[in-house]
Amino acid sequence: MERRTIGAGALAVGAVGLGCMPMSWAYTGSRQRGDASMRTVHAALDEGSTLLDTADMYGPFTNELLIGRVLKERRAEAFVSTKCGLLVGEQHIVANGRPGYVKRACDASLRRLQTDTIDLYQLHRADPEVPVEETWGAMAELVSAGKVRALGLCAVGARAGRRAGARTGLHDATIRQLERVQQVFPVAAVQAELSVWSPEALVALLPWCAARGVGLLAAMPLGNGFLTGTLTPGQGFEPDDLRARHPRFTAEMMAANQPLVVGLRRVAERHGATPAQVALAWVLAQGPQVVPVPGAKRERWARENAGAAQVQLTPADLAELAALPPAQGSWD
């Protein structure tokens, strides 16, 4: 697989990463048997998808434990990205950016991951009660201590108030936050949603990254599974599936957004690919520093996603995809 570099330190990763969250969190059937999840991670590494994206809150904790079992065997082949800053309670998820907590969280992640070093340590969300510079400073100390190689930030505020067809980019608050932490220690990567049905990051965030040599990890590049073309309008989701409460996954909105899937399928047929692979190829085409991180629970999906790196969209393909109608439905 093609390798891409992120950050000023030129961290090399496979062009398509693996989002590990669905194995432990947020989707129906996420808490699947560990051996099935391990096969998925091994398959991704076999295909060259070296970036494994996890977080301490997924599970919570079980996702890192799972990845740790794989890393024990194949650490040299993997690029490990995990996150801190969110605590999962019985009813709420709260931010914690206190420096002492961040350092303890890193040590705990290292133990669960069975590794001495985290390749990319990301701040999942900033704590409104703690200046982000203080949190980021503590994370920078982890780099100095050799526990972390590089730092990243998950984009915040991207969804607030977004409506169908809006291409307004991330909120100004996100860019301001990035500018603030950049003054403390370099940002190697920003993780933000980017897909055919959510292209807002192209407006402000991607240019910001490109101008500064910062990588963009494209979260949810398959639109929470919608862009794969495998979901049927009105099929319904179990209560523990995040899509059960997602405005774009009502039967009405899924039907309204079918033209996006039809367009992806049309391009896919020309390339002998799947709609999911074309959706990922579109993300890859947005810039050399962009790395899509699609989630996958099954081995076959991880292999299919990795195959997107071989799909070379033509200018005509990209123009056709750009002409598709914007997604319908609010995001919050």
CB 172, CB 160: distance < 8 Å: no
SS (H, E, C) 75-97: HHHCEEEEEECEEECCCCEEECC
Give the span between the Cα atoms of 252 and 256, in whole angstroms: 6
Q: Which of 27, 58, 101, 121 is catalytic?
A: 58
Q: Which residues pair with 3 in a beta bridge?
A: 14
- Give the ranges where 145-238 is alpha helix by DSSP (H): 172-182, 205-212
Dihedral pair phi/psi, residue 13, rounded to 5°: -140, 160
| Catalytic residue flag (residue 58) | yes
Residue type at 123? L
Q: At what angle do helices 132-144 and 172-182 cross, to 10 degrees?
A: 40
For 211, the token pair is 């101008």
- Cβ pair 7, 214 in contact under 8 A: yes
Residue burial 103-136, b: 16+ Cβ < 10 Å; e: rest: bebbeebbebbbbeebbbbbbbbbbeebebeebb
> What does DSSP assign to residue 238?
-
Q: What positions carry a catalytic annotation? A: 58
